[in-house]
Amino acid sequence: MIEQMPINWTNIQKKYKGLWVALADNERTVIASGKTAREALERAQAKSRQTPFLARMPEKISPFIG
């Protein structure tokens, strides 16, 4: 069984608050960003041939326990 460690996106969130980011396969490297998912995707596709992982960075980080 392969266990994955959680990825810390704190630095990404600080830089890209409220924006969509297109991440590389490692889910740590930002390829592109935009105000919409489509904008981030189109910018990423212009820079790279890989299919990015899209995520929206929250305005602020709220603790979650669950």
For 3-56, how does the pLDDT look when each residue is reduced to its tens digit (9 = 90+)? 778 888 999 999 999 999 999 999 999 999 999 999 999 999 999 998 999 999
Strand partners, 23: 30, 53
Answer yes or no: pTM beyond 0.75: yes
Please report, for the chain, the start and end positions of each structural domain, with discontinuous segments joined by +: 12-56
pLDDT band at 1 (very low <50, low <70, confident <90, very high): low
Tokens encoding 21: 């980011």
- 54/35 Cα distance (integer angstroms): 12
For 21, phi then psi, to 5°, come to -125, 145
